[in-house]
Amino acid sequence: MNDFPDLPQNSYQIEKELGHNRAGGRVTYLATDTRTQQQVVIKQFQFARTGASWAEYDAYDREIQFLKQLDHPGIPHYLDSFQTPDGFCMVQEYKNATSLSANRSFNPEDIRQLAIAALEILVYLQNRIPAIIHRDLKPENILLDESGVVYLVDFGFARVGGEDVGVSSVVKGTLGFMPPEQLFNRQLTEASDLYGLGMTLICLLTGTKSDRIGDLVDISYRVSFKQLVPTLNLQWVNWLEKMVEPRLKERFPNALAALAVVPISPLRPPDAQFSQANLKFHAVRLGDQLTQAVMLTNPIPDTLLEGKWEVAPHPHDPPVESYCWLTVTPETFDANQVECQVTVDTRKLMAGKTYHRKLFLHTNTLTKTYSLNLQIQTAAVPGQSSVLPNGLLLLVGMVSLVVNWLVASVVLGMGTVEKSVTIAGFGAIVGTAIGLEFAAWLMRSASWRTGSTTCTLAALGVGAAALMGALASDLTTAGPVVILSAGAGAINGAVNGVMTGLTVEKMMVSDNPKTIAIPMCLLIAAVGSSLGLGFAIGFMNLAILTVLLGSSLALGTLISHLYLRRANTLFSHRKAERYLIKP
């Protein structure tokens, strides 16, 4: 047994109750039309029930009259009506859909499509002559099926345009979804239904139940909802605020106007995540063009990140149209993952300075504008960064002096007569050349190419001296003295070669050019060696005096040239700085 009423029309078989308003005598049933086997909705008005009134009867009669005129896929069709012993029934097309008041979750795109579909139904109603005003738009009266089709139901409070749209004796609608003009029983317009639809969308976005919608409305009838949806796209916030604007003149004039400006952007905006928030550039040479990459990622699904880069204005920078030394590629983009190349052109920047600049990224995210901090260190003026290792060069000279003095003293002790001294000296020179070449081999093994080249050059110079000595001397009596002196010379060459090669490598690391490092070290070693030999043999020896004077003069000339060139470079650069961009 069930409590379903017996209908005089045997063509309908009631299956279940869909809803009711017992106080108002209204009950809705799901039934089957036995003639077509199609499911239908039967709305029964029980006039004899307590609480029912002629007003409710008029509402049903009005709904029937409206539905007979309407033909839209978003409005269930009127099918039939008939009287019952305690009232009457209206039969309407059944849609397998649930109201928006049911507990469910919506993704942002669902809500956007729902808003568009509901507005299209209102456009249809408002395009009729005269226009139809629904007057009771709320979540309970909007249905949505599983395929996303939207339906508008319950036209019991509807009114037509012209004189009938105006003031009625009784305020009808649902509190919280009625615009102020309807609440105060004033003239309604096509903009009036937009208020109820806007409040319905706000309910869905904020998760607010229909009976709690009043919590969002303040004493001036303004709707406050932004704090409940902090990630809502600003374009949608502005659109919804205009939909629920209390002042009728500030609201969209009709559904067609509201539909035309529905934001194309998703309800939830994209986000921009940077791979790094700061970029540091360090130039090695003047005029370098430096490039670094920053990766931008948007983790928000169903959104598209759009951006445009801008160089932040700086009081020392020239106008962009005259010279732009900071560029970003691509300058504009629309992608959820993009690598942006930041390029710095240092040709117009002052040397040896640190620049701090910012890049602005304008996006369609909630933050709108992001900043990327840049630090640019320009290269020093040539000659400023290439500092000579004076202490190390002095050490090379001292080592050369001491080692050569010791070797020369040993060689002198080996010869007892003048001819023996000459032979021992020749052996020392040959040994020195061999020692230098041994040092060159060690440098090559350690991949110190420049130091190896320096030792080889020294070995060639000493070897040339040994060849000239061989041509000028009689070596027919050479014996153990030559071998011993050659061993001492080899030690001398190896020690001086390794020390000189290491110094050259050190100067190269300090950005000194090869054309400066090699001659400087060779001349220092030559001065030290000639001084050591002079202390042991005597400065009146013509060969020693020639090497000492020649190497000293060349060394002095080279040092003077370096300082003069540095001074000239600094002067030229300082003179040109007035035209350069300041930090």
**pLDDT, tens digit, for every residue of 419-443?**
455 666 667 777 777 887 888 888 8
pLDDT exceeds 90 at position 309: yes
Give the pLDDT confidence of 170-203 residue by residue, as tens digits: 556 688 898 998 888 888 889 999 999 999 999 9
pLDDT exceeds 70 at position 244: yes
Q: Are 363 and 272 in contact (CB under 8 A)?
A: yes
Tell me which CATH homologous superfamily contains domain 273-377.
Immunoglobulins (2.60.40.10)
This model's pTM is above 0.85? no
CA distance 58 to 56: 5
CA 110 and chain centroid, separation: 29
**Backbone φ, ψ for residue 295 (5° rounding):** -95, 130
> Who's near 358: CB < 8 A, 6+ residues apart?
312, 371, 372, 373, 374
DSSP secondary structure code for residue 367 in this structure: S
Least Cα distance to 148 among 229, 73, 199, 203 occurs for: 73
Q: What is the pLDDT of residue 449?
A: 87
Q: Domain coordinates of the chain in residue numbers?
A: 12-93, 98-260, 273-377, 390-569
Bridge partners, 159 (sequence order): 133
State the CB neighbour count (10 A cutoff) for residue 396.
23
Amino acid (1-letter code) at residue 241: E
Q: What is the pLDDT of residue 402?
A: 87
Bridge partners, 80 (sequence order): 91
User: CATH classification of 12-93, choosing from 3.30.420.40, 3.40.440.10, 3.30.200.20, 3.30.2010.10?
Assistant: 3.30.200.20
Give the pLDDT confidence of 30-61 residue by residue, as tens digits: 999 988 999 999 988 876 655 555 556 667 77
Q: Are 431 and 489 in contact (CB under 8 A)?
A: yes
Helix ranges restricted to H, 207-344? 234-243, 255-260
If you compute the radius of gyration of the chain from its CA atoms, what whole number of angstroms results? 49
Q: Domain 98-260 is in which class?
A: mainly alpha
Which tokens is 16 given?
């279940």
Q: What is the pLDDT of residue 167?
A: 43
Which tokens is 177 given?
């979804």
Which tokens is 302 given?
């169903």
DSSP per position, 248-281:
GGGS-SSHHHHHHT--SS-SS----EES-SEEEE
Q: What is the pLDDT of residue 483?
A: 73
3-state class (DSSP) for residue 410: helix
Contacts 24+ apart (CB under 8 A), 570-576: 570/381, 570/383, 570/384, 573/351, 573/381
Which tokens is 247 given?
């002042």
Give the pLDDT confidence of 151-171 residue by residue, as tens digits: 999 887 888 764 444 444 455
Least Cα distance to 537 among 396, 412, 445 occurs for: 412
Q: Are 521 and 399 in contact (CB under 8 A)?
A: no
Q: Are strands 132-133 and 87-93 parallel, antiparallel or unpaired?
A: unpaired
pLDDT exceeds 80 at position 416: no
Give the pLDDT confidence of 456-512 residue by residue, as tens digits: 888 787 777 666 655 545 544 545 666 777 777 788 878 888 888 888 888 887 777
State the CB neighbour count (10 A cutoff) for residue 21.
13
Q: What is the pLDDT of residue 162?
A: 46
Which tokens is 106 given?
């919506």
Q: Are 104 and 204 in contact (CB under 8 A)?
A: no
**Backbone φ, ψ for residue 324 (5° rounding):** -115, 110
Answer with the residue of higher pLDDT: 5 or 562.
562
Average pLDDT rounded to a whole number, residues 325-351: 92
Answer with the residue of higher pLDDT: 193 or 321.
193
3-state class (DSSP) for residue 505: helix
Answer with the residue of higher pLDDT: 263 or 367.
263
Q: What percent of the chain stands above pLDDT 70? A: 85
Answer with the residue of higher pLDDT: 521 or 199.
199
> Who's near 547: CB < 8 A, 6+ residues apart?
526, 529, 530
Average pLDDT rounded to a whole number, residues 213-225: 87
CA distance 433 to 455: 9
* Sign of the four-CA dihedral 532, 444, 516, 379: negative
Q: What is the pLDDT of residue 390?
A: 80
Which tokens is 337 given?
């993952």
Give the pLDDT confidence of 524-574 residue by residue, as tens digits: 888 888 888 778 787 777 777 887 788 888 888 888 887 787 777 767 767
Largest CA distance in the chain: 155
Average pLDDT rounded to a whole number, residues 337-353: 91
